[in-house]
Amino acid sequence: MPDSNPIDPEQLRGWLQAAARQDGRAFRLLYDATSPRLFGYALRILGKRELAEEAVQDGFVAIWHGAASYQAQLAAPMTWMTTIVRNKALNLLRRHAHDAGIDGPVFDECVMAALHDPQATPVDALLISREAKALAHCMSTLGGAHRQVVGLAFFHDLSHSEVAQQMAIPIGTVKTWIRRSLERLKTCMAKGERP
């Protein structure tokens, strides 16, 4: 869907340059102009408002601290900021995989669609694709019952006791499977395993 309010890249560059000189007013203008779009992007990746808010907040902290490192010849300002927020969102996705709505085979298709950025360069798209595929691959290494428990507990927002009841297994088993599944996902992503 085309953007009805395009943001002037030159204006963003100017605000970033001013933010690099610790200009709080310029940074506020940058934030006001870009945060709604970046929040929407993070929300598509994470699926939960509170996680998307955290990703955007972390992203803007990184943008403030890294504004001096922005190189206009390498990326448009919005692409650079989107990449930062995307990385923060993916880090949250790894840490809180259960909150992100990971549900087995549907994961790859949903995450790939959510991560699509029409302003991304081909290199950005390749990096997104690799990370999403790696995470989908790691999800596929979980056993079916473990993947189902994670999906029910977090994609469908069921409590541990509701998952236990629905799957007719003890609540202790649910908690153990979720903990082990999240540990396996973390280990798999840390190793950089690829399909």
The pLDDT score that the predictor gives to residue 35 is 94
**Domains in the chain, start-ordered, CATH in brackets?**
1-110 (1.10.1740.10), 120-194 (1.10.10.10)
Token duo for residue 144:
């079916």
The pLDDT score that the predictor gives to residue 108 is 44
Q: Could you give the CA distance from residue 46 to residue 132 in angstroms, rounded to a whole number?
A: 12
The pLDDT score that the predictor gives to residue 99 is 42
Note the Cα 151 to chain centre separation in Å: 17
The pLDDT score that the predictor gives to residue 31 is 96
Contact 86, 115 (CB under 8 A): yes
- pTM equals 0.51
Reported for 137-142, long-range contacts at CB under 8 A and 24+ positions apart, including other chains, are: 137/188, 137/193, 137/194, 137/195, 138/184, 138/185, 138/188, 138/189, 138/193, 139/97, 139/102, 139/104, 139/107, 139/185, 140/104, 140/105, 140/195, 141/184, 141/188, 141/193, 142/181, 142/184, 142/185
Half-sphere exposure (CA, 13 Å, Cβ side) for 96? 17
The pLDDT score that the predictor gives to residue 127 is 55
Instruction: Flag residues of the chain having pLDDT under 70.
Output: 1-6, 94-132, 135, 151-152, 154-157, 193-195
Note the Cα 160 to chain centre separation in Å: 24
Contact 153, 98 (CB under 8 A): yes
